[in-house]
Amino acid sequence: MNEKDEPIGFEEKIKAHEDGGHLHRAFSVVVFNKDGKSLLQLRSVKKHHFGGLWTNTVCSHPRKGEDVSAAAHRRLKEEFGFDIPLKERYSFIYKAADPQSGLTEWEYDHVFTGTYDGTPQPDAKEIDDWKWESPSDILRELEKNPGGYTFWSKLIFKKLFADAKAIDSHQHAGKSETKR
């Protein structure tokens, strides 16, 4: 992948993250419910990198030859057990090293959003915990505990929730709901 989101080759997943990382295509999905809360996941501590951190609903990479949107739908079904219409909002490039694993994310990340009001069925191999949380609560938590979130999710939440007070003004008040 180059900085114009043009494929220039294919690399195995772990190799793409070794030796300072190689720029590659990725996606991040942020799912909201009817109350405007976002579905977050606690990445399994068994993940190759950035395990045990809170992040957006789903994040991953397309397979060789797979469309980014199709990959986003595939991983949403695999990780949370449901599929919904998704809209691509924007894309950005970031680079972040994981000191625990020594692996580096250097990604051209496509950000998708959608709405879901059912009960997620998380894959326990992928997700250690999940919760619905309001944009303003997420932003407060990012300030209070930035090390508890993935690097990319902090960038995504800050951009999507730039005006959390306006977002929350037309939503129901309430605390986050944690589910196990």
Residues involved in catalysis: 59, 107
Q: Is 40:142 a contact under the CB 8 Å cutoff?
A: no
151-160 vs 135-144: helix crossing angle, rounded to 10 = 140
Q: How far is CA 17 from the centre of its chain?
A: 17
Start-end of H helices in the chain:
13-17, 68-80, 135-144, 151-160, 164-169
